[in-house]
Structure 1
Amino acid sequence: MDVSDPSSSNYGKHWTPEKVVEAFAPSKETIDEVKAWLVASGIADTRLSLSNRATWIRVNATIDEAENLLKTNYKEFEHTDSGKTTLACHEYSVPKSLKHHIDIITPTVHFAVMTNEKAKRGSDQGTRPSRQVQAVPMADPPTLASSSSAFNYSICSTITYPQCIRALYNMPVGTMDK
């Protein structure tokens, strides 16, 4: 994308929301192929709808239908502190011919926070130990005025500083007066 390339004349020219949608929206072929798979799998076309900007397909399906469609088993997960629950699975599958058309399916394997697992079907209820978070000592951040020659870029794989981003994207140091 030339808007991200400092050597491009379009560098830094922001896109409108419409241009972003246009650039990342799925093709008609993608929408048609995914819908055809869903319908062939027993999901009526009347239970499919496109988002407002046609960037994703909403599927109105039962858990059993979703499990059969994605070859998975859904479970209910409960957040330890809040008690809120969400559906998710450990893995899922789509036909190989559709993999390049699909970026994400939700709900599936994505969590915003760690949770305890409760089996959706009664007999194998259990919990998973919560993940322990350990503090990592950090060095004092370099000042923005630090010269790039004195900056230790090896830390960029663990902590992101403006110097890391400038090096990664070949961005010049800003020249605007404060």
Structure 2
Amino acid sequence: WTAPKDNSVFSFYVAAAKSADDIESFGESEVNKVITIDMNAKKAVVTTIPSQYLVNIKTDGTGGREPIAYLMLGDYNYIPQALKDITGTDVNYFVACHVKDPENIDFTKLAFGEHVKYCSNMPYDVLASLIRTEGFDSDGWEIEWKTLDGTSSTITTEVFGISGTKVIVPDNEG
């Protein structure tokens, strides 16, 4: 992870998983986004990556390609390069959330952290500057939405010893 030269332009990876039981361990991420913020130009680019999109990651020490859903299970040091390989963006920070039983969250449980755990390497001042924008749409922000959809084809392969797993073929392999 490399901090940007200044915090006016930076990118971060958002991974979110849900679980019906164990809130303490982070599992496969169902939400995967790379968000690039340009505070001076008031522009945000949000790139959504489907959880079955194949990326080069090292989850078990041997390397190889796995669905991006498993990215947070590997060595955190490999995440920026894996994301740059598919988005072309230098990713500076990450924010990972794990939500327990999202269908049954109530305000009290949420307020006391019973249902949500998160971790991040984003400095507090960067996070605070994001929060202070108070809604990108209302202040003249331009938001561009992208989705990596690969070659629009899937293949069936083995993932972590489980055969028959459908994955999305990356664009550069079509």
Q: Shorter-normalised TM-score: what interval?
A: under 0.3
Q: Of the two structures, which has the highest relative contact order with CA contacts closer than 8 Å and spacing of 6 or more?
A: 2
Bigger Cα Rg: 1
Whichever structure has more helix as a proportion of its residues is: 1
Whichever structure has more strand as a proportion of its residues is: 2
Query: Structure 1 length as normaliser, TM-score?
Result: 0.19
